[in-house]
Amino acid sequence: MSSPQCIGIIMDGNRRFARERGLSLLEGHNAGSEKLKEVMRWAREAGIKHVIVYAFSTENWNRSKSEVLYLLRLFKRILTRELTAIKRDGFRVRCVGLLSRFSRELQKIMQNAEAETANLPGPTLALALSYGGRAEILDAANRALKNGEKNLDEKTFRKYLWTQDLPDPDLIIRTSGEKRLSGFLPWQGVYSELFFTKTYWPALSRNEFFGILKEFGDRERRMGR
């Protein structure tokens, strides 16, 4: 059975998970952050080198002010108070997205988390924050033009992507029952195997996660050949 080296995860269903259990939406997001810790440990156990998670999209800025503020505090907590645990587990942190939309304080926190974990054994946890696939492609194209690039090929264009130092995902998992990518890694995911589960993100179990990996290993990936 082949094992993926890089996986992408659309962590969907936190709010529905909370509603069905009589919890606040904020408690649902907190449960989702706890699940991420578990999944990273499962990923390491499975030998996965990189995990890219869709944590906050460019469209998520349009949610209620209270929810956005809570999510920003949650990101800050994960990258500060929980950084010691992240380092103890050996995870490398990367933050990718339109990071200029965040406060200078949060940007510095992101940079510090990346710097403090850069030399750890991994796996890499890449947080897609203020991320949108179209925004990434447009930003890459504009920066390439600004640098005077001409006759771009895929290899050169890749250097301008926010994920330029990360491999393309072998598979992308979306929880909660939705069957779309919602702007997640459109350039990088052209040959990714796609898995959709009705399970809400905070309820994802170890058995289901490893079951997805087993199904991935059983698939024949022709990559256009």
Contact 50, 166 (CB under 8 A): yes
DSSP state of 23: -
Can you say whether residue 22 is alpha, beta or left, with left for phi > 0 and alpha for psi between -120 and 50 degrees?
Answer: left
Active-site residue set? 12, 60
Q: Which of 193, 194, 201, 208 is nearest to 55 (CA)?
A: 201
Residues flagged as binding site for Mg(2+): 12, 193
How far apart are alpha carbons 75 and 94 in whole angstroms?
13
| For helices 65-79 and 104-117, angle between their N-to-C axes, nearest 10 degrees | 30
SS3 72: helix
Which residues are known binding-site members? 12-17, 29, 57-59, 61, 63, 174, 180-182, 193
Binding site for substrate: what residues are annotated? 13-17, 29, 57-59, 61, 63, 174, 180-182
Nearest to 114 by CA among 132, 135, 93: 93
| Contact yes or no for 94/124 (Cβ under 8 A) | yes
Three-class secondary structure assignment of 108-175: HHHHHHHHHHCCCCCCEEEEEEEECHHHHHHHHHHHHHHCCCCCCCHHHHHCCCCCCCCCCCCEEEEC
